Amino acid sequence: MGFDRLIEAIEQKQNPTVAGLDPKLDFIPSFIKNASFAKYGNTLEGAADALLTFNKGLIDALYDVVPAVKPQCAYYELYGWPGVKALYDTIAYAKEKGLFVIIDGKRNDIGTTMEAYASAHLGTVAVENETFEPFGGDALTVNGYLGSDGILPLLDICKGRDKGIFVLVKTSNHSSGEFQDQQISDQTVYRTMGNMCEHWGEDSRGRYGYSAVGAVVGATYPAQLGELRTALPHTFFLVPGYGAQGGGAKDVAPAFDPNGRGAIVNSSRAIMCAYKKGGYAEAQFAEAARTEAVRMRDEIMAVIG
Amino acid sequence: MGFDRLIEAIEQKQNPTVAGLDPKLDFIPSFIKNASFAKYGNTLEGAADALLTFNKGLIDALYDVVPAVKPQCAYYELYGWPGVKALYDTIAYAKEKGLFVIIDGKRNDIGTTMEAYASAHLGTVAVENETFEPFGGDALTVNGYLGSDGILPLLDICKGRDKGIFVLVKTSNHSSGEFQDQQISDQTVYRTMGNMCEHWGEDSRGRYGYSAVGAVVGATYPAQLGELRTALPHTFFLVPGYGAQGGGAKDVAPAFDPNGRGAIVNSSRAIMCAYKKGGYAEAQFAEAARTEAVRMRDEIMAVIG
């Protein structure tokens, strides 16, 4: 219930970080791409094969260090349906390795359509007498602009299948304030959305006090992270913006509660592209990713204690 | 530029409506499903084949009546990557028939990730020396909660490739007001988002005055439709909520400008499932859909004149 499974995986690995799997072709070592293109030609299938091979290498190197991975849907859709198949295969492989999988799709819609997204990413679908997990994620990022009609359809699946969602609250990007920092009565838009998360999560709190309705709060706004940690005591945070976007370990510290719980920090490019810095050969991409993931873990654990 | 292509298709067919293609298995006639399951088994591939067959039947029956179709991503993702392949194949078939394709994905993210969504749904992607259209839509629905960082990455592709976006402004659902009707200073959240659409669209206005940045405004809130039509003179509207959600022809009239332009009204279930009402055999699903689309066209044209 709630984010208990994720929280326990974090404690077991002593690592509140998640590795983003956002595999642009530019990020992938040439030897992997060459092998995939030799097999499938310069096609979307070839690109998708390279994505999957890269991801498997990263997962093999990371699965005993990080508790979770976060594939970003956009980078798979970029390669059409073969890319989306690579997303499915990546998730299946990560789960085989015991990882918690956060699908970063920022999905949003209403009613039966939102139910379809919930079933697709976190649930199951029936085809006559057979049942399938279309993508099989453990959590999904969502956008709450449409109100309760866009969130409630997810909650039955979250409660019944021990899954969770992360609602965009205060995002890490430079322009997030244009809209999210505006004032609604006596509070900001992001705080309003945060309060809605607390409300939506009331019936799904787990044994650590956190509900199945988490929030996305960027590392690049540490003051707001602290404000929201205090204001939203039952809302678990997914914190993007660490590393490449400029957030550091001190910036993410306010996301955690006094028990060192309450958040998971994402790093994508810094881990995936670690081999491009600091004297690695391309063939060492996985080793470089692991070294960076360990460094990030140690840096964050040192700050949250 | 802007939504000129769509506006001209609407005028040519004298029909400002778009047929939603949201093919749940429940909506599909048994004879189609049986044939697909006989070929592929009770699998996601079988479901996807049924989706595509159903869509092709609808498109064949509708392509000379409606100017556009709007596949809803959720119903394809529901059947996993084979479902997403059916989305791709549906879009390709609709374009072969000369239809304008609005991909209803409500995508949102920032920077290079949003660029990836833009390339995926509206643009192209390079794989070595080859270039592909991953999905090939003409327009994409998006969610503006993240601010300019989530919208600007789309605009280069819109301007360069004559494509458009529809930003969620005032959605058709019952609870849309929870968040969207709240007051930011002296105006609502939805009006604030609407004003951002006008701003984002400033550099992409076409020959009818409408920019490439449209807005989603629900048929179920006619007063707000009228308010926004006046306040956002360069923003083309995609209007959901007609038919099954309760909006009627009189409700959508305020979406149009004095020239009868400025909006396209969506109907999904009423068209797709027309055969389930009024004495049709399953084999007549396409004929029933066409009859309903013609009825809807005539009803709306009578109101906007």
| Beta bridge partner(s), residue A21 | A71
Q: Which residue has the tokens 């219930």?
A: A1
What confidence tens digit (pLDDT) does each residue in B164-210 have? 999 999 998 888 888 889 888 889 999 999 999 999 999 999 999 99
Here the ipTM equals 0.97
Instruction: Tell me what the mean pLDDT of segment A82-100 comes to.
Output: 98
Give pLDDT, residue A185.
Answer: 82
Q: Helix A44-62 crosses helix A285-304 at what angle (to 10 degrees)? A: 50
CATH number 3.40.50.620 is the correct assignment for the domain at A4-300 = no
Given the residues A106, A159, A163, A170, the one annotated as active site:
A106
What confidence tens digit (pLDDT) does each residue in B259-275 have? 999 999 999 999 999 99
Instruction: Tell me how far apart the alpha carbons of residues B86 and B47 are, in angstroms, rounded to a whole number.
Output: 9
Q: Which residues of A171-202 are buried (b: 16+ CB within 10 A; e: fewer)?
A: bbbebbbbbbebebeeebbbbbbbbbbbebbe
DSSP string, chain B: -TTHHHHHHHHHHT--EEEEE---GGGS-HHHHHHHHHHH-SSHHHHHHHHHHHHHHHHHHHTTT-SEEEEBHHHHHTTHHHHHHHHHHHHHHHHHTT-EEEEEEEE---HHHHHHHHHHHTS-EEETTEEE-SS--SEEEE--TT-HHHHHHHHHHHHHHT-EEEEEEE-SSTTHHHHHTSEETTEEHHHHHHHHHHHHTTT---TTS--SEEEEE-TT-HHHHHHHHHH-TT--EEE--BSTTSB-HHHHGGGS-TTS-SEEEEESHHHHTGGGTTT--GGGHHHHHHHHHHHHHHHHHHHH-
Instruction: Tell me how far apart the alpha carbons of residues A141 and A103 are, in angstroms, rounded to a whole number.
Output: 7
Give pLDDT, residue A186.
Answer: 85
Q: Residue B82's pLDDT band (boundaries 50, 70, 90)?
A: very high
Give pLDDT, residue A246.
Answer: 78
Checking if the pLDDT of B244 tops 80, the result is no
Instruction: Tell me what the mean pLDDT of segment B8-18 comes to.
Output: 98
Enumerate the residues of chain B whose CB falls inside 8 A of the CB of residue A79: 120, 125, 127, 134
For chain B, the domains span: 4-304
pTM to 2 decimal places: 0.97
Q: Is A97 an annotated catalytic residue? A: no
What confidence tens digit (pLDDT) does each residue in B197-229 have? 999 999 999 999 999 999 999 999 999 999 999
Give pLDDT, residue B78.
Answer: 98
Q: Which of B44, B147, B168 sits opposite A145 (nearest CB)?
A: B168
Chain A interface mutation, best of B81, B141, B186, B200, highest count of A Cβ atoms under 10 Å: B81
Given the residues B13, B24, B95, B106, the one annotated as active site:
B106
Size of interface A-B (CB pairs under 8 A): 221
Enter the CATH code of domain B4-304: 3.20.20.70
Instruction: Tell me how far apart the alpha carbons of residues A274 and B293 are, in angstroms, rounded to a whole number.
Output: 55
CB burial of residue B135 (10 Å; 0-12, 13-18, 19+): buried
